Structures are given as C-alpha cells and as structure tokens.
Chain A
Amino acid sequence: MVALPGLFGAKEKVWIPKGRPSPFHDGPTNDQLLSMVMALTVEVSVLRERLDTHERVSETKGGFGAADVEAYNADNDANAARSSLRSRIMHKVFRILRQETARLENEDQDYDKIMKEFDDV
C-alpha cells in the first residue's frame, strides 16, 4: 500500500519556521482563510490529477480513457443524482454566508437580557 502524504502516525509533527510571524492583515482571520483556500486549491489539483491518472492508466490497460469519459451521456437518474450532489456542495461551501442572513431573519431574542437572566441565577 502506498503511504499517503501527511499520514505518518506517530512521527507527525507540525514544523514551523523560526522567524518573525507575518502580520500581513489587520487580523489573522483573513490570512488563515486565504491559507486554507490555497491548501484546498492544491488538494483539488491533486484530486484532479489523480482522476487524470485513472483515465490514462485505464486506457493503457485496455479499459476506458478520457475520450470515453467525454463521450459519456448521463441519463435522467444520473443527472438528478448529480444535481443533488452539486446542491450539497453549494450548501456546504456557502453555508457561512447563508448563516449570516438566516440570523437576521430570526433575530428576535434579546441576548443581553438572557445573559442577565442567567447571571441573576
């Protein structure tokens, strides 16, 4: 079995460079977010490349190749299943934006009052 990057059990250690931290933004949140997006971008690239390898290896072994994938026509069932997959991804990725507006809709509680309530107890 081929070891996957990052999966090395007990040896795992977070290596950080010795040097001043990089205060590029007013707060660290944007830096952290951007760093996560970059890491995700690389992960997606790795996944995409793995798919490409699958097509190429399959073709050299007499199986299907990229052209077969291109020629594939999804039927109605497949299209419906894919549509729900896509919706699920949109929901996951943009959840945070919808949470912001959902709160505006439901904002009828006086939280300061609630805090006091518990404080009093």
Chain B
Amino acid sequence: MDAHRPHPMMPASNHDEIAEQLAIVDMKMFLATKLDAGQRILLENKVLPEFQKKHGREPRNHQELRKEMEPETAYQAYLTMISTSQDMMWDAVGTCVDRQLDDLMDLAEIKNPKGSVRVNPDFEVPRYIAAQDIHRMPGNYHGTYGERDVRQGAVFDRGAVVYQMGRNGGYMNDIRGHTIISHFLSRWPEGMPLRILDMGCTVGHSTLAIAGYFPEAETHALDVGAGMMRYAHARAERLNIPVHFSQQNAECTDFEDESFDLITSSAMLHETSGKALPNIFKECHRLLKPGGAMVHLEVPGRYEEMDTWSRIRGDYEIQYNYEPFWKGAITADFDKLCKNAGFNDIAVGYQDATVKAEPGNTQFGGPSKGVHRSWLMISGVK
C-alpha cells in the first residue's frame, strides 16, 4: 500500500505531510502511554494522599480529586498537550486536504456509479452534532462548503488514520466493520442479509467491510453531512464496492417499514444523546424485517468498571474533546433500550476486535480486552 495515496480517493500526502502525520501519531502515542501513566502516579501518590490528609476522609467522587489535580503543573501540561496534539492533527490533515480540494472534488465525480448518493439541502443537523465540533475536528461531521464539496470526508478519512494511530485497521480503518460482522456471525453463523443499513457511517470505513461479506446484498448507509456522503460515495465507488449513501438522521429516516435484514452502526451511539438513543433503537425496529438483526458497536469500557483516573480522563473527553454524550453512552442501559424498542434475543457484551469475521466464532461474551482490542456490542432481533 502506498502511503502517499493508500486508496484511490484518499487525499494524497507528500513526503513531509506523511512525516508530519506520523510524528503526530507518535506524539499522541507518547501522551497516551508515558504522560498518561504519569498522571495516574500524580493522582495516586500525591493528590489523593494530600486530599485524605487535608480533609480527613476519602473523596466522595472523582470530581473532588479532579479539582485537586487542576492546579498541578504536570496535569495542566498534559491537558494542554492532548488538546493541542488533537488540533495539530486536524491542522496537518486539513492543510493537506485544502491544497488538493479541487482535485478531490473532481475525483468525486463518478461516471456510471454502481451505488448512489442522496443529499438533502433542507436537512436539519441534530443539535447534539451541531452544538460543538466533535473530537475538535473543525467543520465537524456535517460541514459542507459548496455543492461539490467533499472536504470533511477527506479530512476525516486521512485524519482517522492518525487519530486511531493505526489501531483500527491502518489506512482502511475497517476493523470495526469486521468486528460487527464477527459478532453477527458468532450469533447467527448462517446469517445472509440481503438488505443492509449502516447508520452514522461517516466515510464508510466500516460500511465497506460489512458490505464485503455479503456481495449479494444491497447495502445502504447514512450520515448527517452532505460533503461527507459525497466523499463516502466516491470512496466506495473507487474501491469498487456499491453502496447507497444518503444524508439522513438515524432517529427518523425516510426508508419504508421493514426495509432491512441487518442494521449496524460503528461507535455512532456515543455521538448522539440521551433523547436520541431510544429514537434510534425504535427506528431500527421499524426498519427491520421480522427476524432481522440489529448490531451496534460501541466504545469498550463501562463507567462502573472505570477507576478514578479513567473517570477524570473521561471528563476531559466530555469537556474538551467535545464528546458531550461520552458518559451517557457508557452508562446507558442498552438491554433496557433494546427491550423497550421491541427487540428479542438481546445481547450486550464484548466482542474481540478482528480483521476477518468467521462464522460461529466464539470471540463474544468475555471481558473487555481494552480499547481497540474489544468493542462493546449491542445486538437484538426483531
């Protein structure tokens, strides 16, 4: 695979741009391992004992300790560096995309497509997306800058490689798609859906992996950005996998009742809201044929399993990585949400991440192996 242009639609990066992206990956890795470990030591060896001494009691919650962390210069520097490295990443990728945006828009014009793309000029972007730029990505998932624009798709495609630090399937970023099907085939080894819908698909990282397992199926995918959908469509066409993309809200799509055999999403639910979640599950139920299956993938790690430092770190995600529903998603009662929406045969648990889904695998149901090694699966049958 050529790092300059790993697939035919991805924005090309020259020598120095690749070096810049890799340096930022390494910097993010350094922060996530070495400096992160230091914060835990700071908390456990200094901040906590000082709190106990000062107040003569244990802290009531992680927020009390977070407030004591805030004056620590090492913690301040850590926070600055994680937010700055995130901004540097989007800037590096954004400047790379912007210098070739005209070429990318030309590349996105597909003659005789096998799939399709539908955008909606009157689309109302849900407030939980529009309120702030998720992951600090300027322009967010939905930013669109003209009728042929594909910028945010291009930025997200190249940026996700840097953001995931290669742990989600390198340049294709498709391990989550394989993992969804691995879960599906672990529960239903004979499963052969003929109509598939992937919700919150962004550029189609997971969608194409999912579609690849069922070449006879008609695959649809939706997300909230017009530019994102145009890019996703061009990417799928240039990778020769037909998918029908449309700009839609997963809470209320325009598909008819009982349109699909399988509905999926990859790490979409935690970018929604407490009000949206039940709507999305109900919409999945409406769209599935009787006997059809829903498989949502979410971030691993539940709030109740997290230690104090992980919760403090989580507060950063919520407040400064602009993930307002991060805590809501990892405390949500998914079993109840599925039941309330009318699903049967519900399963909520961890599936091992994989690059190849095997029918009848037994990689579901164990403990979480950690970020990018396991994913939380929420599945059920109509």
Residues in A lying within 8 Å of B, measured CB to CB: 2-8, 11, 13, 15-20, 22, 24-25, 30-31, 34-35, 38-39, 41-42, 45-46, 49-50, 53
Contact = CB atoms under 8 A, between A and B. Distances in A.
Interface stretch (B105-113, B129-137, B163-171, B348-356): B129-137
A24 B315 CA distance: 13
Contacts of B81: 34, 38
Given A6-B95, A42-B27, A30 B76 contact: yes
Contacts of A13: 98
Interface of B: 14-17, 19-20, 22-24, 26-27, 76-77, 79-81, 83-85, 87-88, 90-92, 94-96, 98-101, 131-133, 136-140, 319-320, 322
A8 B97 CA distance: 10
Contact of B80 (A3, A4, A35): A35
Contact of B23 (A17, A31, A41): A41
Given A18-B140, A19-B133, A24-B76, A11 B84 contact: no
A17 B159 CA distance: 14
Contact of B139 (A15, A30, A46, A53): A15
Nearest to A8: B99
Contact of A5 (B20, B76, B84, B322): B20
A11 B101 contact: yes
B136 A19 contact: yes
B84 A17 contact: no
B286 to A, nearest CB: 32
Nearest to A42: B23
Given A25-B76, A30-B80, A35-B80, A2 B14 contact: yes
Contacts of B320: 19-20, 22
A42 B16 CA distance: 11
Contacts of A15: 90-91, 94, 138-139
Contacts of A6: 95
A35 B139 CA distance: 21
- 10 shortest interchain CB distances as A-B pairs: A15-B138, A45-B23, A17-B133, A19-B132, A49-B19, A17-B136, A8-B99, A24-B79, A19-B322, A46-B19
Nearest to B130: A18
A80 to B, nearest CB: 32
Contacts of B19: 45-46, 49-50
B76 A38 contact: no
Given A8-B98, A13-B98, A42-B88, 19 more contacts: A2-B14, A3-B14, A4-B16, A5-B99, A8-B95, A16-B87, A17-B132, A17-B138, A18-B132, A18-B322, A19-B136, A19-B322, A20-B132, A22-B320, A24-B79, A25-B80, A31-B84, A34-B84, A42-B23
